[in-house]
Amino acid sequence: MAEHDWVSERFAEHQDRLHAVAYRMLGSPGEAEDAVQEAWLRVSRADTGQVENPAGWLTTVVARVCLNMLEARRNRREDAAGALPAEPVTTHADVRSSATGPEEEVVLADSVGVALMVVLDTLAPVERLAFVLHDVFAVSFGEIGGIIDRSPAAARQLASRARRRVRGAAGESEAARSVKRDIVEAFLSASRNGDFAALIEILDPDVVVGEIHGDRAVAAFFAGGAKAARLALVDGVPAAVWLHRGRPRAVFAFTVTGGRITRIAIDTDQDRLRDLDILLLPATKERP
């Protein structure tokens, strides 16, 4: 098969995904079409002899085109910041909750709609690229780092910055986060102390933790069993982290409705424990 025919077939095979990437990156159907066309011009002239992953290669090309377009758009604006943000320093362990996988991030993005686009437009181009590629299209931080000439850790931090802004746009106010933090902290305290009655007060009667249903069953499961769990912000959201020898081994993501915990998602997947920021917090009595 001629090289040009091979490129044409691969491009046609992945064209829907490329359009989706470009649209999420740029927020405009017209600009997305322009980006895909520019990407086609680039790949049709490229040497494909070393291409082992056509889907990844094409996504990279489209992402770079979109990044250039975002930077040009930003430079045209009077309030443009000018320089790209400094490479972030990774200072916290990174943990990803199973409740926020790529599929759920697509739902999150769709639910925010116009609000999401407004928030994305306030991000630096590299932040927008890192968030969209990783959280919506599950591109690795290693690949993203190669596109933006940053380290994988820096790409992870850029995505985390953007993700916190998107979560804010999704509607969780600062007041709601403060309430959630208090509830999570009370849950951890009651668990450590084996206070069954206090746990019942915090848990919704229909609370679910994996296959465990009901407030009494969940309270019995956790009573006395969360001694190593710590209050934390996971991607800016109040949560809990279980540590072993100082390293995160599990994340507890809480859903709070009406002042009570209705769901606890537990993630112990070590591959996902590198994808979100976790900041350990002091308990109230430990605060200065």
> For position 165, which CATH number holds?
3.10.450.50
H, E, C per residue of 117-140: HHHHHCCCHHHHHHHHHHHHCCCC
Of 194 and 224, more confident: 194
Residues 6+ apart with CB under 8 A from 55: 14, 17
Segments forming the whole domain that contains residue 185 = 91-125+161-288
> Is residue 286 pLDDT above 60, yes or no?
no
| CA-based nearest residue to 188, from 238, 241, 229 | 229
65: in domain: no
* Interstrand relation of 229-234 and 212-213 (parallel, antiparallel or unpaired): unpaired
Task: Provide the token pair at 130.
Answer: 């890192």
What is the rounded distance in angstroms from the CA atom of residue 204 to the CA atom of residue 251? 20
pLDDT of residue 107: 42
246: in domain: yes
> Is residue 26 pLDDT above 70, yes or no?
yes
pLDDT of residue 36: 94
Of 177 and 112, more confident: 177
pLDDT of residue 4: 65
Task: Provide the token pair at 133.
Answer: 């590629």
Give the C-alpha distances (Å, rounded to integers) separating 28 from 47, 73, 126, 130: 30, 12, 18, 18
249: in domain: yes
39: in domain: no
Instruction: Specify the number of domains making up the chain.
Output: 1
* Average pLDDT rounded to a whole number, residues 175-200: 89
* Average pLDDT rounded to a whole number, residues 183-198: 92
34: in domain: no
136: in domain: no
pLDDT in tens, 152-172: 999 998 988 888 777 665 555
* Average pLDDT rounded to a whole number, residues 199-204: 94
| Mean pLDDT over each residue of the chain, to the nearest integer | 78
DSSP 230: E
Please tell me the least confidently modeled range out of 21-25, 106-110, 113-117, 205-209: 106-110
Q: C-alpha dihedral over 203, 204, 205, 210, to 10 degrees?
A: -80
pTM of the model: 0.51
Task: Provide the token pair at 153.
Answer: 């850790």
> Is residue 129 pLDDT above 90, yes or no?
yes
Give the confidence band of 275 by pLDDT, cuts at 50, 70, 90. Answer: low
266: in domain: yes
55: in domain: no
What is the rounded distance in angstroms from the CA atom of residue 17 to the CA atom of residue 63? 12
